[in-house]
Structure 1
Amino acid sequence: MEEAKAVRATAAPAAIEDVVLRSPGDKGRAAGSTSLAAILDTLEKAGSIEDLHSLLQQDCVREIAVGAYAEAVARCCSYVSGLARPEEKVLCGWPVLSINEWGSQQPRTLVLSSHALYRVAFSHQKGAIDHYSRTSLGSLQAIERGRYAFKLLLTEPDGRENPISYFWSAYVKKNTKDNRYERVYYPIHPETLPVELALACILSAVDVANKLMVEKIGSYAYVSRLEIRDYVPNPNAVDELMDKVGPAIETGVQKVGEVVTKVFHGAQSAAHSAAAASASAAERAREQARSARR
């Protein structure tokens, strides 16, 4: 599979990162910005899963994925349809670059259904699904919307737990909300399609699907109503960490310094004693030599 090309934006820094992904070989197949914008105006008003499904099946939405990515989306949606529960309906899929809890970049396909959000790994070399994960729409806590990406915050773990994140939430930021369960996604989209529209399509679809689930079963089971908010960077995270662990580090350095000083002084005293003993022995030897000559 040809790798997606990352382009560094020249705009002022904001969002999660100033990176936009372009789909290779997508010329001539770009989604129509005007028609997609019109769909987005209607999307938030969808009153049923059937209405939402009908809107997301429009060509301008489906053509967000182009080339090899369109093939991956089609295969992944078909695969999820085979996994879906009897009343579960597959709505749409989008190609993304997923950043996992270890910071690794992974090409993935997000498949949205009426019940869940699936993250599917499709191998173009094998032409098959490698693996997938499923997160209930009721477990989506919040989406932090950036300029070129979004961060999905969950109420349950997704993937293996990063021990560094665990240490941070368990020992450094004890009195704050646990945000360990999160994923960052960059949508892969045609170069001629504004990234704002690609992001808006994904976020609106997920938000409406979550809202419909809450309205349907919220009175009978606990499900989280998704909150969409702008991402606010925290440049002082390192300073906050150093404020917590800095005193302990300084104490440790001080103790090490005291030990080194004691060792140095002890070695210095031993050297002086050895030098004095050597001088005394040499003087005795000279005295003996003079006595022998007499």
Structure 2
Amino acid sequence: MRRREDLVVAAGLLLLALGTAAVAAAQEAATAPGADDAAILERVGRYVLAYHEQLAQVVADERYLQVAPQLPLANPERTRNLRSEVILVRPEGSAAYKLFRDVVEVNGRRVRDREERLAELFFSSPATLDKIAAESSRYNIGPVISNFNVPTTVLYFLEPANQANFRFEPAGEVEIDGVRTRVFRFTETAQPTLVRFNFRDIPSAGAIWVDPADGRVLRTRLQIQAADNRGRPLNVETAVDFRLVPALGLLAPVEMREEYTVAGVAVFTGRAVYDNFRRFAVQVDQSVDSPPVDEP
């Protein structure tokens, strides 16, 4: 009788183990990219490479509202409106494109030394990634990470050479502007990370909404978790929406939203909108040929 009970218990444990293994396998299959998902991500990579080449010929107007409610009382300016022109540029010796923000107005006032700074950046010396990032973030307020407050950051992650640095997991489907998009969550797994803060690696995470048919990216979300200069937990999130611009025949970023929280308290929010997209050809001579500025 005892032997029979032992056999029953053993059989039950075996069935439980098999059931647990089956559930784990099903969960793994549900989250790991399958053959179709891998093909979609490959299309996304090809799309992003071509997209950067196309968008590099386009200038857009950016209206960027920054709010930093937790700045010290010694700094009375806690809200800033920036009006800029933005364009993708590829610095000398770099394979990557960087969004350059040419600030035209700050709180409605024209930037006076703009042309001199542009000449120094692009003609007097090679325009490196660090110089472009510094110039593009010159007028930011609050704890803005320069790699983050550009709408094309996640697209750089999606280039074929960079996808291997991330783990992608399918996360369902969502309809955006009539397109049934495939959603993928991503987590950076390689070091050094593509975004750094305070000279430290900070793995990126987020999600992308893509057209499975051709790899077009319609929405991105990006998140990092790090420590601020005082060691407090810092959480940064950005979201970008892309829409079709008929005049260009391609998708372009139309809105970017940001939020920075330290220890759960919002210390910075930003909202940038983009419009007036137009193609731009650079002419190099003794002067700086800036894109035309629409007067308010």
TM interval, short-chain normalised: under 0.3
Higher percent of residues as helix = 1
Higher percent of residues as strand = 2
Give the structure-2-normalised TM-score. Answer: 0.22
Give the structure-1-normalised TM-score. Answer: 0.22
